[in-house]
């Protein structure tokens, strides 16, 4: 491997590269536009495109593409155009790429989900250059990050609303800073550090599991004698084969300017995590797509398959995408940094009160923004945060909030002191003011909040669009109330107290996995939407529509479209899973089991013939049990067919999704139960596919 510092960003058309290749006034204008927005003209785009083309061709590129993220597809879309021009009279071509090609593309939008925003006959869609995210060369293609919208300007991707929400946070965040006399900040933005969890599985074994191939998760299978109960996986030594894969991955990511930082084994066997250093939310969104793509493609090179699914295996932990999120200004202010004496940091306390209100008011929307069919296997099970949204503040900030709730103001901050292990050769260190709480969906971690619900295969777009928009909303209300008041200090204290007091129910520092918490949460009136299908209507709650429209992030019709697409996606996923199960049951499992019981029956008669009266009770018992389960398997898979037909006969996307959950999904559990019991009774070599034991333990 090359020197990290040398290769980092080598394939990115970053500021330094652009600066060296275009006229100073072009570069200055570009920087100004990236910061303040405004119209990009051909005078700017043409010279930048020329520089980009020259640079990319120097890197061996033959094509360019507008990269975009159509709503809600996990892997980004790209359509490659070569630089080839029309041949001249002598039959020669030139490399062709203009400012127009850079600024706008026009892919046929009709084959992407639109949720009713656009009829198939009205196919035109546009990709528009996002100047805040740098272009790069990957696999000989110049990749230009873009947003994707319809002919009439509606967002058809995950990024447009995120960009809009960042404008909203900028405007309202600056207002809030001004309240406190800040004159140095000129831009407020949101940041994200997404931690990506995933599983790796051997490609040859994967090929033999239609459920992994079609559904991305196992639909049958039971744990071998060892699972994750010994807690011996997390942070354990990474197998050599996997380390070679990670080295390959890291080098690609670094070349693409992605700050791959952390890598480690996760809790379940075969599970890993990688995390970059946090960056501006839209850049983090783009980087996360590149990361997911690289995880998959690099796996193929190493005879592995990367599973991004939230729950590839029953019985061991699933995967999430912990969304570390903060808001900050260009003068270095971090809105979520409490400082040494949080009780004196009025900006932090006001932001915290606002956040508490926003989380409480948008709990179901937050839950919906982090959901998909796969995540329903995690949220609420004892591994991921529950489906109930609550906030963890930790000891120090939690204590300040308690003081405010009790006395109206806080007068002191707890200090945790030193970590002294009593060994003279070990240093004595300062402790963090807060412990961690892995059971909380929304946990304060010292200078950021970690939204731990986000699904591992999902875009981080929706979750961060909601986070930013709800913050703009509550900042706006705080500014409306506090701008121009006579006694600012007293008014701020009062606002903080009243807001925390009104929304304190959402603060919970206890164990989110405990059996008592859902009961306590119900007493507090906190929503607990166990299924994504019940959470999705939050996209069009009155409050949601009002909030998104107020800040021009999404219109009612865009929100309706999103809800519709997500419902269709849910039904689509369950449909694929159901059909895959039926296929596996009929074409793999039943034939293999029939063969096995036939042999068993033959063996009984052979033994009886050879030695009349011999004890064949074990075989007979197995024969009876397995035959009964075989009949159960057949009945359950027939019942799935009936349920699927019923669900698909429903009229609208909401009823279809509900029917898939209530009829099909529940019937899938019946089939799985029968097959998994069979797996425990049939000889290993007779079982028609690799088992959990084969798949999970790669080392």
Task: Give least dist CB 277 to ligand ADP, A.
Answer: 4
Tell whether residue 174 is a contact of ligand ADP (CB under 6 A).
no
CB 526 within 8 A of CB 389: yes
- Give the dihedral of Cα atoms 546, 551, 554, 555; nearest 10 deg: 50
Binding mask 440-459 for ligand ADP (x = CB under 6 A): -------xx-----------
Residues 301-330, interacting with ligand ADP (CB under 6 A): 324-326
Q: Quote the least distance from Cβ 450 to ligand ADP, whole Å.
A: 6
Is the CB of residue 527 less than 8 Å from the CB of residue 428? no
Q: Which C-beta is closer to ligand ADP: that of 258 or that of 500?
A: 258
Q: Which C-beta is closer to Mg ion: that of 110 or that of 445?
A: 445
Our finding on whether 195 is near ligand ADP (CB under 6 A) is yes
The three-point CA angle 306-309-315 to 5° equals 105
Half-sphere exposure of 673 (CA within 13 A, CB side): 9
The stretches of 262-392 forming alpha helices (DSSP H) are 281-301, 346-361, 363-369
483-507 burial, b for 16+ CB within 10 Å, e for fewer?
eeeeeeeeebbbbbbebbeebbebb
For the bound state, the minimum distance from the C-beta of residue 230 to ligand ADP, rounded and expressed in Å, comes to 21
Q: Contact with ligand ADP (CB under 6 A): which of 55, 64, 191, 198?
A: 191
**Residue 278's binding partner, choosing from Mg ion, ligand ADP, none, with beta-carbon cut-off 5 to 8 A by kind?**
ligand ADP
How far does CA 124 lie from the centroid of its chain? 29
Q: Which residue's Cβ lies closest to ligand ADP? A: 193
* DSSP secondary structure, 483-552, as one string: TT-SSHHHHHHHHHHHHHHHHGGGB--S-TTSSHHHHHHHHHT--B--SHHHHGGGGGSHHHHHHHHHTT
Per-residue contact flags (x/-) with ligand ADP for residues 328 to 357, judged by CB under 6 A: ------x-----------------------
According to DSSP, the β-strands at 279-280 and 188-202 are: antiparallel
What phi and psi, each to the nearest 5 degrees, are found at residue 284?
-60, -40
278 near ligand ADP, rule: CB under 6 A: yes
Tell me how far, at minimum, the Cβ of 273 lies from Mg ion, in Å.
Answer: 5
User: Which residue from 625, 600, 602 is spatially nearest to 681, judged by alpha carbons?
Assistant: 625
Q: How far is the CB of 241 from ligand ADP (least distance, A)?
A: 23
Taking the least distance from each CB to ligand ADP, the nearer of 280 and 405 is: 280
208 binds, among Mg ion, ligand ADP, none (CB under 5 to 8 A by kind): none
Q: Which residue, 220 or 278, is less far from ligand ADP as judged by CB?
A: 278
Report the run of H or E that residue 406 belongs to, with start and end.
Answer: helix 394-407
Of 14-22, 270-278, 518-526, 555-563: span binding ligand ADP (CB under 6 A): 270-278
Nearer CB in complex with ligand ADP: 277/429: 277
Compute and round to an integer the Cα radius of gyration of the chain. Answer: 28
CA–CA gap between residue 170 and residue 685 (Å, rounded): 62
3-state SS, residue 297: helix
Q: Which of residues 207-266 bind ligand ADP (CB under 6 A)?
A: 262
Is 468 a residue that touches ligand ADP (CB under 6 A)? no
CA 156 to centroid of chain Cα atoms = 18
How far apart are CB 436 and ligand ADP at their closest, in Å?
A: 7
Q: Which does 272 bind (CB under 5 to 8 A by kind): Mg ion, ligand ADP, none?
A: none
Specify the residue, 193 or 338, whose C-beta has the smaller distance to Mg ion.
Answer: 193
Q: Which residue among 93, 277, 611, 681 contacts ligand ADP (CB under 6 A)?
A: 277
Distance CA 263, CA 698 (A): 17
- Of 481, 469, 452, the C-alpha closest to 546 is 469
Find the shortest distance in angstroms from Cβ 199 to ligand ADP: 17
Closer to ligand ADP by Cβ: residue 444 or 548:
444
Identity of the residue, 195 or 462, whose beta carbon is nearer to Mg ion in the bound complex: 195
Query: Nearest Cα to 66, choosing from 21, 123, 131, 121?
Result: 131
Q: Is 65:141 a contact under the CB 8 Å cutoff? A: yes
Least distance between ligand ADP and beta carbon 276 (Å): 6
666 binds, among Mg ion, ligand ADP, none (CB under 5 to 8 A by kind): none
* 292 in Cβ contact with 196 (< 8 Å): yes
In whole angstroms, the minimum distance from the beta carbon of 537 to Mg ion comes to 32
Q: Where are the alpha helices (DSSP H) in 180-262?
A: 203-207, 210-215, 240-255
Q: Where does this chain touch ligand ADP (CB under 6 A) — which range of 84-92, 275-283, 454-462, 658-666?
A: 275-283
**Would you count residue 287 as binding ligand ADP (CB under 6 A)?**
no
Nearer to ligand ADP among residue 429 and residue 642 (C-beta):
429
Decide whether 255 or 448 has the Cβ nearer to ligand ADP: 448
Helix axes 24-36, 42-58, angle to 10 degrees: 110
149 binds, among Mg ion, ligand ADP, none (CB under 5 to 8 A by kind): none
Would you count residue 196 as binding ligand ADP (CB under 6 A)?
A: no
Which of 344, 325, 348 is CA-nearest to residue 336?
348
Q: Which stretch binds Mg ion (CB under 5 A): 189-197, 228-236, 243-251, 646-654?
A: 189-197
Q: CA-to-CA distance for 611 and 604, rounded, in angstroms?
A: 10
Q: Check residue 360 for interaction with Mg ion (CB under 5 A).
A: no
Binding-site size, Mg ion (CB under 5 A): 1
Cβ distance to ligand ADP smaller for residue 432 or 520: 432
- Which residue in 101, 195, 310, 558 binds Mg ion (CB under 5 A)? 195
- The window from 91-99, 190-198, 467-475, 650-658 that contacts ligand ADP (CB under 6 A) reads 190-198
Helices (H), 541-652: 542-550, 556-584, 590-610, 617-648
Which positions from 120 through 149 interact with Mg ion, judged by CB under 5 A? Answer: none
Crossing angle between the packed helical segments 617-648 and 590-610, to the nearest 10 degrees: 160
The residues that touch ligand ADP, with contacts defined as CB under 6 A, are 191-193, 195, 262, 275-278, 324-326, 334, 447-448
The residues that touch Mg ion, with contacts defined as CB under 5 A, are 195
């Amino acid at each position: 491997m090359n020197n990290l510092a040398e290769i980092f960003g080598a394939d990115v058309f970053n500021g330094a590269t652009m600066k060296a290749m275009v006229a100073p006034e072009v570069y200055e204008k570009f920087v100004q536009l990236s910061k303040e927005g405004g119209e990009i003209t051909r005078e700017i785009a043409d010279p930048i495109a020329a520089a980009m083309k020259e640079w990319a061709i120097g890197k061996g590129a033959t094509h360019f593409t507008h990269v975009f993220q159509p709503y809600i597809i996990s892997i980004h879309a790209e359509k490659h155009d070569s630089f080839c021009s029309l041949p001249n009279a002598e039959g020669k071509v030139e490399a062709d790429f203009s400012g127009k090609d850079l600024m706008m593309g026009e892919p046929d939008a009709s084959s992407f989900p639109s949720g009713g925003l656009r009829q198939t006959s009205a196919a035109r869609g546009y990709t528009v250059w996002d100047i805040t995210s740098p272009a790069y060369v990957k696999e000989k293609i110049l990749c230009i990050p873009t947003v994707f919208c319809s002919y009439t300007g509606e967002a058809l991707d995950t990024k447009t609303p995120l960009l809009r929400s960042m404008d909203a946070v900028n405007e309202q965040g600056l207002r809030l800073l001004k309240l406190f006399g800040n004159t140095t900040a000129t831009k407020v933005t949101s940041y994200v550090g997404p931690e990506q969890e995933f599983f790796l599985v051997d490609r040859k074994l994967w090929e033999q599991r239609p459920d992994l191939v079609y559904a991305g998760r196992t639909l049958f299978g039971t744990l071998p004698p060892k699972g994750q109960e010994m807690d011996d996986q997390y942070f354990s030594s990474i197998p050599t084969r996997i380390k070679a894969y990670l080295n390959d991955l890291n080098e690609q990511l670094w070349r693409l300017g992605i700050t791959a930082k952390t890598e480690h084994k996760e809790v379940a066997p075969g599970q890993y995590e990688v995390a970059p250093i946090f960056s501006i939310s839209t850049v983090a969104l783009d980087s996360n797509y590149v990361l997911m793509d690289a995880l998959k493609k690099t796996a193929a090179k190493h005879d592995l398959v990367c599973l991004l699914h939230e729950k590839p295996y029953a019985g061991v932990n699933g995967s999430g995408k912990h969304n570390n999120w903060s808001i900050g200004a260009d003068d270095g202010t971090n809105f979520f940094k409490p400082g040494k004496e949080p009780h004196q940091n009025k900006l932090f306390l006001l932001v915290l009160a606002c956040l508490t209100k926003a989380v409480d008011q948008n709990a179901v929307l937050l839950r919906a923004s982090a959901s998909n069919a796969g995540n329903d296997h995690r949220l609420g099970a004892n591994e991921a945060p529950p489906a109930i949204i609550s906030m963890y503040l930790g000891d120090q900030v939690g204590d300040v909030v308690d003081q405010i709730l009790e006395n109206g103001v806080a007068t002191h901050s707890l200090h945790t002191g030193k970590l002294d292990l009593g060994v003279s050769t070990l240093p004595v260190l300062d402790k963090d003011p807060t412990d961690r709480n892995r059971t909380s969906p929304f946990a304060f971690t010292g200078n950021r909040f970690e939204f731990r619900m986000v699904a591992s295969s999902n875009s981080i777009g929706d979750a961060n669009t909601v986070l930013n928009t709800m913050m703009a909303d509550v900042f706006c209300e705080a500014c409306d109330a506090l701008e121009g008041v006579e006694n600012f200090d007293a008014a701020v204290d009062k606002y903080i107290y009243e807001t925390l007091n009104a929304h304190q129910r959402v603060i919970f520092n206890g164990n989110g996995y405990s059996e008592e918490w859902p009961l306590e949460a119900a007493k507090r009136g906190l929503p607990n939407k166990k299924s994504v299908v019940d959470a999705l209507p939050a996209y069009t709650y009155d409050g949601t529509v009002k909030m998104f429209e107020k800040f021009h992030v999404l219109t009612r019709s865009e929100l309706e479209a999103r809800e519709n697409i997500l419902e269709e996606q849910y039904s689509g996923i369950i449909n694929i899973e159901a059909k895959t199960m039926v296929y596996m049951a009929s074409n793999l499992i039943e034939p293999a089991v029939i063969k096995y019981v036939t042999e068993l029956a033959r063996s009984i008669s052979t033994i009886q013939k050879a030695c009349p009266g011999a004890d064949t009770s074990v075989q007979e018992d197995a024969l009876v049990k397995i035959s009964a389960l075989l009949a159960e398997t057949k009945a359950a898979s027939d019942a799935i067919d009936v349920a699927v037909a019923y669900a698909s006969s429903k009229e609208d996307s909401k009823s279809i999704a509900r029917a898939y959950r209530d009829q099909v999904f529940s019937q899938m559990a019946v089939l799985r139960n029968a097959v998994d019991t069979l797996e425990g009774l049939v000889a290993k070599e007779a079982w028609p596919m690799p088992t959990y034991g084969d798949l999970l333990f790669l080392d």
